[in-house]
Amino acid sequence: MQSFRTEIENPIVERDIIELAKKIELFNTGKVDEEKFRSLRLARGVYGQRQLGVQMIRIKLPYGKLSSKQLHTICDVSDEYSKGRLHITTRQDIQIHHVSLDRTPELWAHLEQDDITLREACGNTVRNVTASETAGIDINEPFDVSPYADAIFKFFLRNAICQEMGRKFKVSFSATDNDTGLSYMHDLGFIAKVVEGVRGFKVMIGGGLGSQPRKADVLYTFLPTDRIIPIMEGVLRVFDRYGERNNRSKARMKFLIKKIGLEAFKELIEKEQGAIEFKTVEIDAESYVYSIPSSEPSPDSPVENKRAYEQWKSTNVTPQKQSGYFSIGIKVLLGDFYTDKARLLANLVDKYAASELRLTLRQNILIPFVREDLLPFFYNELSKLGFIEVGYNKAIDITACPGTDTCNLGISSSTGIARKLEETLKSEYPQYLNNEDLVIKISGCMNACGQHNMADIGFQGMSIRTPDKTVIPALQVLLGGRTLGNGDGIFADKVIKLPSKRAPEALRRILDDFENNSNSPRFLDYYLEKGGKYFYNLLKSLADISILTPEDFIDWGTDKRYVKAIGVGECAGVMIDLVSTLFLESQEKIDAAKSSIREKSYSNAIYLSYGSIINAAKAMLLAENQKTNSHASIVSQFDEFYIESGKIDLGVSFSSFVYQINEFKPSENFAISFNNNAAVFLEKLRKFREQQLNRI
DSSP code per residue over 70-94: HHHHHHHHHHHHS-SEEEE-TTS-E
Q: Alpha helices, DSSP H only, in 489-557? A: 503-517, 523-530, 532-539
Query: Computed over its alpha carbons, how large is the radius of gyration of the chain?
Result: 26
- In 3D, which of 641, 627, 635, 619 has the Cα closest to residue 693? 619
Q: Look up the CATH architecture of domain 306-384.
A: 2-Layer Sandwich (3.30)
**Where does the pLDDT of residue 563 fall: very low under 50, low under 70, confident under 90, or very high at 90 and above?**
confident
* Equal CATH topology for 11-112 and 130-287: no
pLDDT, one tens digit per residue, over 250-271 is 999 999 999 999 999 999 999 9
Q: Where are the domains of the chain?
A: 11-112, 130-287, 306-384, 399-553, 579-695
Interstrand relation of 188-195 and 171-174 (parallel, antiparallel or unpaired): parallel
Helix, strand, coil percentages (3-state) for the chain, rounded to 5, are 45, 15, 35
Pair 478, 493: CB distance under 8 Å: yes
Average pLDDT over residues 523-552: 95
* Mean pLDDT score of the chain: 92
Q: By three-state DSSP, how is residue 39 classified?
A: helix
What pLDDT shows up at residue 574? 38
Average pLDDT over residues 42-50: 84
Q: Which residues contact 408 (CB under 8 A, 6 or more apart)?
A: 48, 49, 50, 566, 567, 568, 569, 570
Q: Look up the CATH architecture of domain 130-287.
A: 2-Layer Sandwich (3.30)
First and final C-alpha spacing in the chain:
38
Q: Which residues contact 366 (CB under 8 A, 6 or more apart)?
A: 133, 134, 327, 328, 329, 330, 357, 358, 359, 360
Query: How far from the centroid of its chain's Cα atoms is residue 533's Cα?
Result: 34
3-state SS of 490-501 is ECCEEEEEEEHH
- Helix (H) / strand (E) containing 220: strand 217-224
Indicate if the pLDDT at residue 6 is higher than 80: no
- Helix (H) / strand (E) containing 440: strand 440-443
pLDDT, one tens digit per residue, over 55-92 is 999 999 999 999 999 999 999 999 999 999 999 999 99
What pLDDT shows up at residue 313? 97
Between residues 578 and 321, the one the model is more confident about: 321
- In 3D, which of 177, 172, 182 has the Cα closest to residue 141? 177
pTM for this structure? 0.92
Q: Which residues contact 274 (CB under 8 A, 6 or more apart)?
A: 662, 663, 665
CA distances from residue 483 to 15, 112, 118 in whole angstroms, order as listed: 42, 36, 30
Q: Which residues contact 623 (CB under 8 A, 6 or more apart)?
A: 579, 689, 692
Pair 443, 451: CB distance under 8 Å: yes
**Where does the pLDDT of residue 576 fall: very low under 50, low under 70, confident under 90, or very high at 90 and above?**
very low
Average pLDDT over residues 17-44: 84
Between residues 1 and 154, the one the model is more confident about: 154
Q: What is the DSSP letter of 153?
A: H
Pair 281, 603: CB distance under 8 Å: no
pLDDT, one tens digit per residue, over 269-310 is 999 998 898 889 999 999 998 889 999 999 999 999 999 999
pLDDT, one tens digit per residue, over 352-396 is 999 999 999 999 999 999 999 999 999 999 999 999 999 999 999
CATH number of 579-695: 1.20.120.330
What pLDDT shows up at residue 30? 84
What pLDDT shows up at residue 97? 94
- In 3D, which of 635, 640, 648, 656 has the Cα closest to residue 688? 648
Interstrand relation of 85-88 and 317-319 (parallel, antiparallel or unpaired): unpaired
- Helix (H) / strand (E) containing 634: helix 631-638
What pLDDT shows up at residue 294? 95
Indicate if the pLDDT at residue 618 is higher than 70: yes
Pair 106, 11: CB distance under 8 Å: no
Query: How far from the centroid of its chain's Cα atoms is residue 154's Cα?
Result: 16
Q: At what angle do helices 523-530 and 503-517 cross, to 10 degrees?
A: 90
Domain 399-553 has CATH 1.10.10.10: no
Pair 130, 172: CB distance under 8 Å: yes
Average pLDDT over residues 484-488: 97
- In 3D, which of 53, 47, 10, 70 has the Cα closest to residue 291? 70
Q: What is the DSSP letter of 318?
A: E
What pLDDT shows up at residue 575? 36
Average pLDDT over residues 530-546: 96
Phi, psi (degrees; rounded to nearest 5) at 532? -60, -40
Pair 319, 267: CB distance under 8 Å: no
Pair 123, 42: CB distance under 8 Å: yes
Q: How far is residue 262's CA from residue 315's CA, in Å, rounded to a whole number?
A: 41
CA distances from residue 587 to 326, 434, 518 in whole angstroms, order as listed: 54, 59, 65
Report angle CA 596, 598, 602 to the nearest 5 degrees. 45
Indicate if the pLDDT at residue 497 is higher than 70: yes
Pair 456, 439: CB distance under 8 Å: yes
CATH number of 11-112: 3.90.480.20
Sheet containing strand 130-131, edge to edge, reads 130-131, 171-174, 188-195, 198-205, 217-224
Q: Which of 526-530, 573-577, 622-626 has the highest mean pLDDT?
A: 526-530
Q: Alpha helices, DSSP H only, in 145-223? A: 146-156
- Helix (H) / strand (E) containing 217: strand 217-224
Indicate if the pLDDT at residue 567 is higher than 80: no
Q: Which residues contact 323 (CB under 8 A, 6 or more apart)?
A: none
